[in-house]
Amino acid sequence: MDTKGKLDKLGKKDKLDNTCEKDVKDQKDMIEKQDKTSKKYKKEKEEKK
């Protein structure tokens, strides 16, 4: 019983860690895309001046 409980907790922890890593990676990708978009936008704005 105790061992199963510990295993369940370990399994949940692993899942949580994996989810967090994936979320962080997704956020980084989003931020990079936004950076590129904003830089592109600024460039176009400056060229119009």
Positions in the chain short of pLDDT 70: 1-4, 7, 10-18, 49
Report yes or no on 43 lying in a domain. yes
- pLDDT number for residue 3: 67
Asked whether residue 29 is assigned to any structural domain, the reply reads: yes
Q: DSSP characters for 5-22? A: HHHHHHHHHHHHHHHHHH
Residue 11 lies in a domain: no
CA distance 27 to 24: 5
Q: Measuring CA to CA, how many Å separate 12 from each of 3, 9, 24, 26, 43?
A: 14, 5, 18, 21, 46
Give the pLDDT of residue 7: 67
pLDDT of residue 49: 67
Task: Specify the pLDDT at position 28.
Answer: 93
What is the C-alpha separation between 40 and 43, in angstroms, rounded?
5
- Domain membership flag for residue 28: yes
**Per-residue model confidence (pLDDT) at position 21:** 80
